[in-house]
Every structure is written in structure tokens, then in C-alpha cells.
Structure 1
Amino acid sequence: MKSKNNPFPLFENIKTIIAETQHYIVRNVNAAMILTYFQIGKMIVEDEQQGSQRAEYAKETLTHLSNGLNKEFGKGYSLSNLEYMRSFYIIYRHRIPQSVIGKFNQLLIPQTVSGELTIPFHLSWTHYIQLLKIKNEDERNFYEIEAAGNNWSVRELQRQYNSALFERLALSKDKDGVKQLATKGQIVEKPADALKSHYVLEFLGLKEESKYSESDFETAIIDKLEHFMLELGKGFLFEGRQRRFTFEGDNFFVDLVFYNRLLKCFVLFDLKIGKLTHQDIGQMQMYVNFYDRKIKTKDENPTIGIILCKEENRTVIEFTLPEDNNQIFAKEYKAVLPSKEALKRQLE
């Protein structure tokens, strides 16, 4: 008999099973492909070592191998892809225990084996090609952790790398904090953990030299809200725009309001297209005080206010805010992707 709430229970139940099975198949076929490429890379390296091949000879061997495999199995075994497989084995051979290889034919790929951490097999081979291009081990580990934990697409991984996310987070941390990024990824436990040295908003399409108003700026963010929240980082939920409150007949508006579920607090954004002033900081202080006293509950943490501006004024920030400030922050935004090389030099 058909339920009033669900007129086709059989259809829904079968649909659920099919969806779960497809997810399982995709995940395990992907893992099988990665392990196949890992073993091909291992065989290439061992062949080179046994033959003590010169670089020119090794290249010639890979060229013949590529031609033969493509003829036998179709595309997917280009010279460059074989070289990626070789690099994949060299870089990750200590991360894939032999016990995982032993389960290869069973298509049961665990994330840990006898307490040993393996690689995230739900990342695609294309993800790993992007990771292999990152020479610095700490930086590569960071992007691997973040891509796996946040389910980044390949395009989002490329965008976060190109926007120098690792450097922008590392600039605000000490040596131990930078090492934590490489081993655990971005951990958000206090307000400063959720902040970057600056925010890159190239996806808004705002040119550095063009003129636009704060209203244009806000509208562009709302139009690209999903991209903006990815740039903000972990735990952000959108609560609203132009949130109004009134004091003695005067109306005030908070440009953007978010909630961070990891920090358990409201995060207010005020958008400024010019250089930061002490009036901007005073205005944000009022917004934060209002939310702390009138909006947040006893179980929630103090509100965070972020002034997103075109140009910081460090002296004004230093002498306007208290030394122990941990609620109000001013951060620059960039309308174009920054130079990774410049950020790397700054970090070093």
C-alpha cells in the first residue's frame, strides 16, 4: 500500500541502494586505478635501478612503453603520465604499506592499515597529478589534507594553490604552526585560526584599476557566495546581508553576517573599498558589541568582526584596538591572484 507521505516507497528504497552502490563502485574503481598507477611507477623505478639506466636511455624506454601500452589499452599511458606514475611511487611509497597492495584485488581499500595512515584514495588521479607538481613536501601535504577533508574538486585545488592559501595561512603562524599545517591541515580553534593574511577575490571579476562602489562589491560577493565561502575557509555558514538594527531612530546595517560552526560565533563583515580609517574600526566595534549583547546566546562565543578593505592601515589598527584584541580584525582583499613567489619570499 502506498504511504501518503511517500507514494513510491519501493522506488525510493531502490534509488537509495543504487546511489550507494554507485558511490561504492566509483570510490573503489578510483582506488584501484591509483594503486595500479602506483605499481606501474614501482616497476618503472625498479627497472631503472636494475639496469642502472642513463637518463637518455630511461626516457627512450618510457617512450617505447608508452607506445606499447597505448596501442594495447588505449589512451591514458602517455609519456608524461608514465613519468607522473614514476614520481607518484617515489613520493608516496612510504605512505602505501604492502598490506594495502595485498588488498588490491579485493577492492577493499582501508584508510588505515594496522594503525598506519595511507593516502586518501577518494582523491582522483588528476588530484594527485596536481599535488605532484608541488615540490615542497610540507606544502604538498597541506593541500592533500585540505583537498581530501573538504572534498575539493580539481579546479578548486588548483585555485587554492594558485591563490597561495598555504603561504597566506603560514604568514600568521610560528614555526610550529606552519608544521601543523603540513601535518594536520588548517585547524580552527580560535578566531585567528580562521583568518588569512589577506583574501583573494579574483572570482568576483573586479579589476584592480576599475572603479566600483561598496554596494557593487557586496553584490558581487552575494552573486559568487559559494566561491566567497570557500575563500573564507572552514565552518562558515551564511546568515544574511544588510542586517539592520536601530538606535534612537538611527538605522545601522551590517554588510554581511556569517556564523562559524567551528568557532560557535557570529562573524560580521564590513566592506570597504578604500584605505582603512579609525572610524571604520569604531563602527565595527559597535556592530560587535550589539551582537554580543543582543543577539548571541550564553552558549555562543564572542562575535568576530572583520573589516575587509582595499588597503590596511597598520598604525591605525595598532593604536585603535587594545593589545589583547581577539575580536576585531582588518584584512586586505586582492582583486587579482597574488604572486606566489613574492609570498614564498615573505614567508621564508
Structure 2
Amino acid sequence: MENNNEHNIKKGHFDAFVHAVGSEIEQAQVRLITAANAQMLFHYWKMGNYILYHQNLHGWGGKIIKKLAQAIRFNYPEKKGYSERNLTYMCQFARLYPLNVLRSFIETDSILSVPNIQNITNEVLKLNSGQFTQELTAQIQSADNQSLEITQEVPAQFQNVEKTVATIYKIKIEDIEDLFLASPIARINWASHMVILNNPLPLGVRYWYMKQSVEMGWSSNVLKMQIESNLYDRQIKSNKVNNFTATLPAPQSDLANYLLKDPYIFDLAGAKEKADERDIEEQLVKHVTHYLLEMGNGFAFVARQKHFQIGDSDFFADLILYNIKLHAYVVVELKATPFKPEYAGQLNFYINVVDDKLRGENDNKTIGLLLCRGKDEVVAQYALAGYDQPIGISDYQLSKAVPENLKSALPSIEEVEEELTLFLDKDKNP
């Protein structure tokens, strides 16, 4: 019997040991992939700078990129990723992100280490203010002027891509790499960069989408969808209706305001043209992953049509979510009509109930989110006056524009529950 117990203990220790080793292997793979992606982006950025330099130096036109792509294909047929299209993107990549822009991104990162809606807005606006009017061409011309003093060294020096880039920016090669790898442009993949490059976004907005892609783990398809739905405008620029400043302490009020969007855009492919509240809700839950993506960072699904018995009456809250960043429950009420003042009273009631029935001692105040099919902002702001509970009011729009390949990749709530059940059963019966 003791031998069996000893065997079980040893087996338990060994299983934990194997699990830890497996976890390290998986993390190492992620780190290697991330490092490889950053090095590839650095290579593309250097290539873009090098091509732009020689275009300027020799007066070559755009056709040089086509000729270069053909030459690479002929001389290095095994090398992929150097098509005319990709080389053009490399040049655009280098032109849009010269070294002073990379430095500004790093500086902005340090300022925005704590999410604050005012800081985020101010810093992004600074990046849009035209402080980077010195384009790469001017820096290249400066490098040309400097090279005239060392004419005999120029041919050998500029056969090396890294030396060329270092000369352009008047900085050590290793310092350039350190700056590049420390900036947010090194943290998203090339496909996502191409999505951003294909959109005429101001510099600060490009920075914001990069940061969101890293934080949210967006694929390039999701990033494209978010740009097309004007997420930046809906989350940063819109004048949001809420009473968070009056009802929540800072910085939670800032974070809640930042996370709120107006309007929300939900894809309801398959819903009725005139969807009622129940139909909208069914569709929201059907593809829960996608809708949590639209809700924003850190939201987790808790319940829908959550039943509460209060006194002798039954009540059902539409949707209850939990936001990990806010450490708070979020009660969502969906209305298929424009905002009415009485809707705020109903939501306030549900917030009080969730605070009493679900909120734990480590949870912050429950937040209410009222989603309506339109609102008069003045009426909505008046309606919130006097409520002690934090409430936000946003419009929502129904869209059927989500790509089919993305929809098929999103599990239904039933599939999520089924997979979770199988996992738990497996865990109980190893």
C-alpha cells in the first residue's frame, strides 16, 4: 500500500515536472517565432532604406524595383518574399518609419504604460501633429553630402546594406537594431503591417492600431476588419455618453471610458432584417468570440438572460460580462429602439442586483452598458444625472460585412461548452 502511495506521489511529481517542461518548450517556441518575426521585419526595413537610398543616389525611377525583383528571382531562386509587390512594401515601410518615428513610438510607449484616456488621446494627437516632417529623403540627402568627403570609400561602404543604413541615420549599426526591436513595429507580423500600409492612416492612428494588435492578439484579418469599421474613431474620438467620472474613482473611470465604444458594430449575418432584442441577443451569443472581440479587451462571457428572483418577481438581465482589466461585472442591456430615459432606470436596477448577488469582495463596482438603436445625446446625458451607479450609453449597428472565412473560424457557444465539457471530463479521468 505504501509503495503504491509512494508511486502515486512520484508519478504526480513527474507529471508536474513534464507539464512544466512542456510549458517551457511551448513558450520557447513562441519566443523563437516572435524573435524571428522581429528580425525579418528589421531585414525588410533595412532593405527598404537601402533601395530608397540608391533610388535617390542614382536617380532611378520606380522600375528599379521591378528589375531588382527579377534579379533576385534569377540569382536567388530559393529566396521567397522578394516579389515586386513586397519590395514596394519594404520601401513604403522604411519611408513611413524613419528612425525618429521609431524613437517617438518608444517614448510614447513609456508615457502610456498606464491606460489613461486623456493621455492616449493627447499622445496619439501629438504623433499626428506633423512633428515628423523631415522625411527619409532629406536624411538620405544628408548622407549623400557627408559621403562626398570620403569619395574613395563610398563604393565599398555602400555595398553593405547595414553600413548604408547606419550612414543615413548617423548611428552605429547595433544601435539601429536595438531601437528597431524596442519599437512596437517589431511586434506585429508582416501581413498586419501590409494591412496598415494599405490604409492612409495618420501616424498616431497607425501606432494605436499596432498597439491594439499586440495587446489583443489580432490576426491580420481581424486588424483589417477593425480598421474598416473605424475602431479608432469609435473608441478614441467619439464623444461618449456616460457618468463614469462622477461614479467611479480614477483611474478606473478613465479605463472604463476608454474601453467604451460608440457605436458598437455587430455582425448579424443570418438575423432578420428587423431584428428584435431576442434575435439580436441570440446572434450575439451564437458567435460569442467575435462579439467579445467587438466589446473590447479583457471581456469574458458570464451569462445571458440571467435569472434573478427579487421579492415575488422574476427578472432577466440580457447579458452579463466580466472585464478582467476593470475587475468588474458589466451588465449589458440591448434595446431594439432608440434611447428612452426609462431604460437607464431599468439598467440601474440590474446593476444594483448584480452588485448584491454576484459581486465579490475583490470586485470593483458593477458597470452598466446600454446599447440602443440610436440616441439623442443631450437627452441621454440628462437621463444619467442623479444615478450613483456607473452607466454608459452607446449606439449599436448591425453589419453583415465580416468575411466568411473569419465567421467559420469562430465557435458557437454550444461548441465552446462542448469542448469545455470534454476537457473537464478528460481532466477528471486521466
Report the TM-score, using the length of structure 2 for normalisation. 0.65
Tell me by how many angstroms 1:167 deviates. Answer: 0.7
- Contact residue 307 and residue 330 of structure 1 kept, 8 A: yes
1:142 aligns with 2:147: no
1:159 aligns with 2:225: yes
Tell me by how many angstroms 1:166 deviates. Answer: 0.4
**1-side partners of 2:188 and 2:73: how far apart?**
24
Aligned length: 313
Identify if the C-alpha distance between structure 1 residues 277 and 9 changes in structure 2 by more than 3 Å, giving closer, same or farther: closer
1:64 aligns with 2:57: no
Indicate the SS of the match to 2:337: strand
Q: Which one has a larger percent helix, Structure 1 or Structure 2?
A: 2
Which range is displaced more, 159-168 or 231-240? 231-240
Tell me by how many angstroms 1:329 deviates. Answer: 2.3
Larger Rg: 2
Identify if the C-alpha distance between structure 1 residues 149 and 110 changes in structure 2 by more than 3 Å, giving closer, same or farther: farther
- Contact residue 111 and residue 120 of structure 1 kept, 8 A: no
Tell me by how many angstroms 1:62 deviates. Answer: 1.0
Partner of 2:159: none
Q: Which amino acid aligns with 1:37?
A: Y
* Deviations, residues 270-291 of structure 1 (Å, cap 9, x unaligned): 1122233333222112111222
* Deviations, residues 3-60 of structure 1 (Å, cap 9, x unaligned): 443676776465445433422332222122111111111110110121133xxxx222
Tell me by how many angstroms 1:200 deviates. Answer: 0.6
Please show how residues 1-348 of structure 1 align to structure 2 within 5 Å. Answer: 3-5=10-12, 12=19, 15-53=22-60, 58-71=61-74, 72-73=76-77, 74-94=79-99, 95=102, 101-102=173-174, 117-135=182-200, 136-172=202-238, 189-202=254-267, 204-205=268-269, 210-314=273-377, 316-322=379-385, 327-336=390-399
Tell me by how many angstroms 1:213 deviates. Answer: 3.0
Structure 1, unmatched stretches of 5+, are 175-186, 339-348
Tell me by how many angstroms 1:162 deviates. Answer: 1.0
Runs of 4+ in 1 over 4 A off after TM superposition: 6-14, 96-101, 109-113, 323-326
**2-side partners of 1:271 and 1:327: how far apart?**
17
Identity %: 25
* Deviations, residues 105-127 of structure 1 (Å, cap 9, x unaligned): xxxx76888xxx42342311111
Identify if the C-alpha distance between structure 1 residues 8 and 307 changes in structure 2 by more than 3 Å, giving closer, same or farther: closer
* Deviations, residues 51-101 of structure 1 (Å, cap 9, x unaligned): 133xxxx22211110111123234422212111101111122212896895
- Contact residue 42 and residue 180 of structure 2 kept, 8 A: no
Indicate the SS of the match to 2:57: helix
Indicate the SS of the match to 1:159: helix
- Contact residue 180 and residue 186 of structure 2 kept, 8 A: no
Q: Which amino acid aligns with 1:85?
A: M
**1-side partners of 2:37 and 2:196: how far apart?**
16
Q: Which amino acid aligns with 1:40?
A: M
Which range is displaced more, 60-69 or 317-326? 317-326
**1-side partners of 2:85 and 2:377: how far apart?**
47
Indicate the SS of the match to 2:392: strand
Q: Which amino acid aligns with 2:174?
A: G
Q: Which amino acid aligns with 2:214?
A: A
Indicate the SS of the match to 2:354: helix
Tell me by how many angstroms 1:315 deviates. Answer: 5.0
**2-side partners of 1:170 and 1:70: how far apart?**
45
Identify if the C-alpha distance between structure 1 residues 64 and 14 changes in structure 2 by more than 3 Å, giving closer, same or farther: same
**1-side partners of 2:39 and 2:221: how far apart?**
23
Partner of 1:180: none
- Contact residue 305 and residue 318 of structure 2 kept, 8 A: yes
Tell me by how many angstroms 1:312 deviates. Answer: 2.2
Indicate the SS of the match to 1:276: coil
**1-side partners of 2:317 and 2:98: how far apart?**
51
Q: Which amino acid aligns with 1:162?
A: E
**2-side partners of 1:283 and 1:324: how far apart?**
12
Q: Which amino acid aligns with 1:44?
A: I
Indicate the SS of the match to 1:201: strand
Report the TM-score, using the length of structure 1 for normalisation. 0.78
Indicate the SS of the match to 1:296: coil
Indicate the SS of the match to 1:243: strand
**1-side partners of 2:217 and 2:173: how far apart?**
25
